[in-house]
């Protein structure tokens, strides 16, 4: 059984993905802001995990971009809270 707050976050992320998928302008804006596009996941067991990872990465990138401190082209520049020195 999943935690209730995780279920709420997943539901909100799914609604956001659904809205962006339907809107070509929203999809272009997301690609322009964070260089990511939505992809279709066939495996149900990994869909929620990948959705969480992509949404959190896009949110962090958007936040850093709005503050003006986007790391260069390094993909591993985003550190997640709780990681033990390594970056994901």
Domain map of the chain by residue range? Answer: 4-67
Q: The tokens 């994901």 sit on which residue?
A: 88
pLDDT tens profile 11-70? 888 888 778 777 888 878 878 888 877 766 565 556 777 777 877 787 777 777 766 655
The answer, yes or no, to whether residue 80 has pLDDT greater than 50, is no
Question: Strand, coil or helix: what is 32?
Answer: helix
- With vertex at residue 52, the alpha carbon angle to CA 31 and CA 25, rounded to the nearest 5 degrees, is 25
Whether residue 77 is predicted with pLDDT greater than 70 in this model: the reply is no
* Angstrom distance (rounded) from CA 37 to CA 47: 15
């Amino acid at each position: 059984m999943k935690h209730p707050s995780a279920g709420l976050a997943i539901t909100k992320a799914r609604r956001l993905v659904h809205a962006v998928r339907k809107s070509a302008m929203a999809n272009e804006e997301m690609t322009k802001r964070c260089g990511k596009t939505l992809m279709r996941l066939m495996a149900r067991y990994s869909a929620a995990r990948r959705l969480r990872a992509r949404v959190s990465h896009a949110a962090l990138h958007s936040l850093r971009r709005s503050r003006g401190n986007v790391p260069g082209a390094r993909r591993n520049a985003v550190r997640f809270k709780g990681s033990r020195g390594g970056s994901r």
